[in-house]
């Protein structure tokens, strides 16, 4: 089975809850405590299996454009990019999967807890699921091998951070005479005034290491704020 088409789908479908087109340095000045949060909130090589490779993230949020249900989400992300210190991890992937098994994160250090709560609420709104479903359909429609994607809530996030919400996008696809399903998990976690968006992808099933990565990063961010 060739994964060439699937490899194209992954970065396009990773429509991050944190708005991952964050390559430029943040406009907002960073305090010492902000820097500690940002350092703690990115996935590192120590969080993933030792044989995983990494590269600069290539994901963007362009799939949001032109979708009415994404208007509030895109506006919130665009505003945060201008005003809130942020950092993005490298994209880590299992070498033999050709990037279909991957993990990355984006973290924001809001000035106040209430600001982070307001930002998180955008991803808990009913339009968030509809936005992701239509954005995924928009991406999949441009891939001849992709079927109709579906979006479902991730239900095992109780007790993760102060607030957590997640969505799983599943996309059936074909390659040659075989078929499979691509799973893309998007998880948002608020830890006091910090917001972390996680992107995971895997072929055939939900990525098994995702929960442990989330827990590790969330624990670091909590510790960074407690030590500030």
DSSP 108-165: EE-SSHHHHHHHHHHHHSHHHHHHHHHHHHHHHTT-TTB---EEEE----TTSSSEEE
For the ranges 12-16, 24-28, 50-54, the lowest mean pLDDT is seen at: 24-28
Q: Rounded to two decimals, what is the model's pTM?
A: 0.89
C-alpha closest to that of 190 among 83, 91, 107: 107
pLDDT at 212 over 60: yes
200 bridge partner residues: 103, 185
Pick the CATH number of 4-226 from 3.40.1000, 3.30.310, 3.10.50, 1.10.150: 3.40.1000
pLDDT at 94: 93
Segment 143-170, tens digit of pLDDT: 767 788 899 999 999 999 999 999 999 9
Place of tokens 């095992």: 156
pLDDT at 95: 92
Task: Parse the chain into domains and list their residue ranges.
Answer: 4-226
**What's the pLDDT tens digit per position in 1-14?**
333 444 445 555 66
Mean pLDDT computed over 74-96 = 91
């Amino acid at each position: 089975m060739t994964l060439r088409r699937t490899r194209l789908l992954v970065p396009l479908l990773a429509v991050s809850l944190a708005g991952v087109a964050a390559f430029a340095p943040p406009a907002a000045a960073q305090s010492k405590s902000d820097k500690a949060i940002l350092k703690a909130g990115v996935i590192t090589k120590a969080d993933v299996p030792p044989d995983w490779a990494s590269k600069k993230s290539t994901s963007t949020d362009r799939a949001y454009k032109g979708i009415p249900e994404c208007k509030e989400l895109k506006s919130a992300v665009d505003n945060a990019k201008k005003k809130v210190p942020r950092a993005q991890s490298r994209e880590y992937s299992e070498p033999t999967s050709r990037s279909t098994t991957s993990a990355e994160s984006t973290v924001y250090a809001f000035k106040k807890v209430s600001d982070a709560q307001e930002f998180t609420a955008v991803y808990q709104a009913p339009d968030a699921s509809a936005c992701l479903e239509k954005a995924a359909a928009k991406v999949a429609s441009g891939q001849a091998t992709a079927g109709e994607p579906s979006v479902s809530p991730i239900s095992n996030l109780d007790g993760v951070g102060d607030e957590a919400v997640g969505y799983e996008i599943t996309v059936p696809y074909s390659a040659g005479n075989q078929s499979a399903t691509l799973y893309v998990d998007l998880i948002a976690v608020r830890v006091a005034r910090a917001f972390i968006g996680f992107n995971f992808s895997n072929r055939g099933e939900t990525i098994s290491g995702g929960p442990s990565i989330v827990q590790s990063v969330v624990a670091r961010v909590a510790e960074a704020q407690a030590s500030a």
